[in-house]
Amino acid sequence: MTTPKKGVPPIHIATPQLQLSTKPAALVLRTARLSGPIFRDDAAAQTGLSISTVNRQVGALLKAGLIRERADLAPAGAIGRPRLPFELNVADFLTLGIHIGYKVTSITTHDLLHRVVGAIQIPTPIAESPEQTLNAIGVSARRFVARWAGRRVLWAGVAIGGRVREGGFVDHPRLGWAEAPVGRVIAESVGLPVSVASHVEAMAAAELVVNPDDKRANFLYFYAREMVGIAFSVDGTVYTPTAGPPVIGHFPTGATTLLDPENTGQLEPATSDTGVVNAARAAGLPVGEIEEVHELARNGDTTARALLEERAEVLGRTVALISDIFNPDHIILGGQAFTDFPATLPTVAKSVKTTSVLPNRDVRVSHSGTTVQQQAAGAVSLDSIYSDPLEALAFTS
């Protein structure tokens, strides 16, 4: 807890855990989220906690308002004190998610089920300093979240590219930021405790939220859109290196035909949305945005289709090579490079199969689809609540 300057309320900036917590309150809350309405004895069986521990945690979570009992579902004809199932309280609480992208920033509200309640997109502001950009984003976020005046907003989460340091400081070479005070500026702007995470790690964490049964499996998350990146999850925890997330934008692409007209030979300049648009323009296509390349390909333009197929082949080859190093149980592909033109997914799959030393790797496309950035920000905004709900509420107003 810190007070940055006189007249500003104390702020709290958390380092996200990005894992499936084993704390008793977190286990009970997760059971309510996944299986509610649920009776206490069933919750004890699912979590492995004793019934007395479950009773204590349910009592504390009821008092905090995070769960609620369903008297209408009490068993008929019961003698003595009725057994009441409990469920997550989705009516009274929200969190605020912010995904800061190179070109576009998304701002979302989420209920305790991690569902998107509302969402807007704004162009990522261009300003003279990171603080000015972040202040502008904070103003938009504060105005947006004010639409839900009747609900208590518990936490804010920021997902962003680059390296996130302790205290919510961010190095983002693509935006030209070094030690940008993302956590502090957003916390002061929205008046909430804030968690800040690398966006690809946050996307992997969102997969854990959606698919907690995968907690004993390890998976590689591969993201591609305007940036490319990877994250790795083992035993229900997203690995977050101290030195920052792995950097793969400089990986060699191998030989290309239409992609990479400037011959950088590097993955991100060649396969990013901007890179594909530049290649399309170099090939004579009258486009300014990646959506126009997609539209031309859907309408039968052979050059546009060949560009997107080549992008898929290069990305698939990179996925295979990285997978051969980590050897994950399965691979999850996320980002609009995979989801906005799904007709090239067979090319990705073929490229993975022909490149990898294991010809039958388990490759999946993220369930988040085109909302992957929103889901990532939501996972960060809910991280402290999912990890230790009662402690998290101590930091909220």
Note the Cα 242 to chain centre separation in Å: 19
Model confidence pLDDT, tens digit, residues 351-372: 999 999 998 999 999 988 789 9
Helices 302-326, 290-298: axis angle to 10 degrees equals 110
d(CA 366, CA 363): 10
Spatial contact of 355 and 27, defined as CB atoms under 8 Å apart = no
Q: What percent of the chain clears pLDDT 70, i.e. is strictly above it? A: 95
Q: Report pLDDT for 80.
A: 44
Q: Report pLDDT for 214.
A: 60
Q: Report pLDDT for 358.
A: 92
Residue 66 tokens read as 């995070």
**In one letter, which amino acid is 154?**
L
Least confident residue range of 65-79, 149-163, 325-339? 65-79
> Greater confidence, 80 or 54?
54
Q: Report pLDDT for 249.
A: 94
Least confident residue range of 11-25, 200-214, 334-348, 368-382? 200-214
Read off the pLDDT band of 1 (50, 70, 90).
very low
Which residues lie below 8 Å from residue 100, measured CB to CB, with a gap of 6+? 124, 137, 158, 159, 160, 161, 182
Q: What percent of the chain clears pLDDT 90, i.e. is strictly above it? A: 83
Q: Does the pLDDT of residue 172 top 80, yes or no?
A: yes
- C-alpha atoms less than 13 angstroms from C-alpha of 188 in its C-beta half-sphere: 16
Enumerate domains of the chain plus CATH numbers. 1-211+372-397 (3.30.420.40), 215-366 (3.30.420.40)
**In one letter, which amino acid is 217?**
A
Q: Report pLDDT for 98.
A: 98
Which residues lie below 8 Å from residue 79, measured CB to CB, with a gap of 6+? none
Model confidence pLDDT, tens digit, residues 16-42: 999 999 999 999 999 999 999 999 999
Q: Report pLDDT for 50.
A: 96
